[in-house]
Amino acid sequence: MSATAERAAAVPICDADPFSPSSLEEPEELHHVLRAAGPVVYLSRYDVHALARYEEVHASLVDWQHFESGAGVGLANFRHEEPWRPPSLLLEADPPRHDAPRRVLRDIVAPPALRRLQETWHAAAGELVDQVLSGGTEFDAFTRLASAFPLRVFPDAVGLGPDGRENLLPYGNMAFNAFGPVNDLVKADAHRVADLSAWVNAQCAREALTEDGFGARIWAAADHGDLTHAQAPLVVRSLLTAGVDTTVHGLAACLYALATHPDQWQRLRERPESARVAFDEAVRWQSPVQTFFRTATTDVTIADTLIPEGTKILMFLGAANRDPARWSDPDRFDLARDPSGHVGFGMGIHQCVGQHVARLEAEALLTALARRIERMELTDTPRRHPNNSLRSWASLPMRLHPVG
């Protein structure tokens, strides 16, 4: 029997489309089906194998030798398809080429380097919350808080100029859609690819950046010989691609979780030092980045299923983060649990390099709210924003009850 026939006989086959509007809106049911079907599932619609259980997702994320990123971490296989932009030197690269850019960026956004931002960002969060509350206690917390806060602090920290910042979220939205199939979401933005890319690429130039931001530090690392000058703008581009939408929708996940779990909000108010854990639990519970792909570097077997060399594997981070074999009561948003080990930031050599930036943003915003807000509640059904790989939001209508 050929390897293909063997696979066809043994692997559960699923013809559902994880990138359909309904799956993207409400992925939990499909995640349950995929986890229950087996450790590996064949997705016939896209001719890829998929992993939805924690054990296999974790194992494949840490095994970069067998599951490469250099052929792209979306559905498109860069061995056969032209990428929509020059591949990322971090996300879409493997050792050894991946390692120098990674080290450079890691040091620039590591906790010691973020200390100088801590006070500024905490103050900025306090000012933002005061400013929003001065206009009333009912508003769209997605726009006014979850989007507004990262946009207020992160582009300044990178060292972007003042113009065109409204392009950041649309560019990220486009990049995260591009990891999925060429469906209506991708087609809807096709007319903006050239303009948005041109704007982002222009911001990566040394001359476009201030002298004291993350961007300038990337260029300084090139002067120092840790990177080539040709690599520097692409590393800046990684910050601009991966650093805005992710934190916006991660903070939105937090606000949604806390608004719908008043007991957990009380717990956070009593222990504001748990703001970072609250953020990680929200990342586990919502998984703002839902999916990534890898490509098999050789014929490789996962739980007795052969994954042919050169083929794509779809990893459901969101499903792994709610796998009952790993998490007790996984659908519960629970600040008493230890969410560490979640794969919402990935795992292994590509694990989110900016996670400390994200945690600092969350800590600043959540502690500013915890000091001022006794209770918060949704006033209407929140709306999701469909995206092929981000679990994202369009609105979070909320009422906040300020203290005393």
Q: How many CB atoms are closer than 10 A to CB 372?
A: 16
DSSP tally for the chain: helices H, then strands E = 18, 13
Among 173, 177, 238, 355, binds ligand OW7 (CB under 6 A): 238
- Of the candidate spans 20-28, 193-201, 221-229, 236-244, the one that interacts with ligand OW7 by CB under 6 A turns out to be 236-244
Q: Which of residues 339-368 bind ligand OW7 (CB under 6 A)?
A: 352
Least distance in angstroms from the C-beta of 177 to ligand OW7: 11
The amino acid sitting at 381 is T
Question: To which residue do tokens 């010989």 refer?
Answer: 225
Cα angle 240, 96, 288 (rounded to 5 degrees) comes to: 35
- Of the candidate spans 22-30, 189-197, 205-213, 237-245, the one that interacts with ligand OW7 by CB under 6 A turns out to be 237-245
Rg (CA), the chain: 21
Nearest Cα to Cα of residue 298 among 311, 315, 285: 311
What is the rounded (10 degree) CA torsion for 177, 180, 185, 189?
50
Q: Which of residues 241-270 bind ligand OW7 (CB under 6 A)?
A: 241-242, 246
User: For residues 132 and 289, which CB has a smaller minimum distance to ligand OW7 in the complex?
Assistant: 289
DSSP structure string for 133-145? HHT-SEEEHIIII
In this structure, what token pair is assigned to residue 365? 């915003």
C-alpha distances in angstroms, 150 versus 143, 186, 289? 11, 25, 17
Among 52, 57, 90, 125, binds ligand OW7 (CB under 6 A): 90
Distance of CA 325 to the CA centre of its chain: 23
Applying CB under 6 A, the site for ligand OW7 has a residue count of: 11
Among 76, 186, 289, 369, binds ligand OW7 (CB under 6 A): 289
91 near ligand OW7, rule: CB under 6 A: yes
Q: Which of residues 153-182 bind ligand OW7 (CB under 6 A)?
A: 175
User: For residues 128 and 352, which CB has a smaller minimum distance to ligand OW7 in the complex?
Assistant: 352
Least distance in angstroms from the C-beta of 348 to ligand OW7: 13
* Interacting residues with ligand OW7 (CB under 6 A): 88, 90-91, 175, 237-238, 241-242, 246, 289, 352
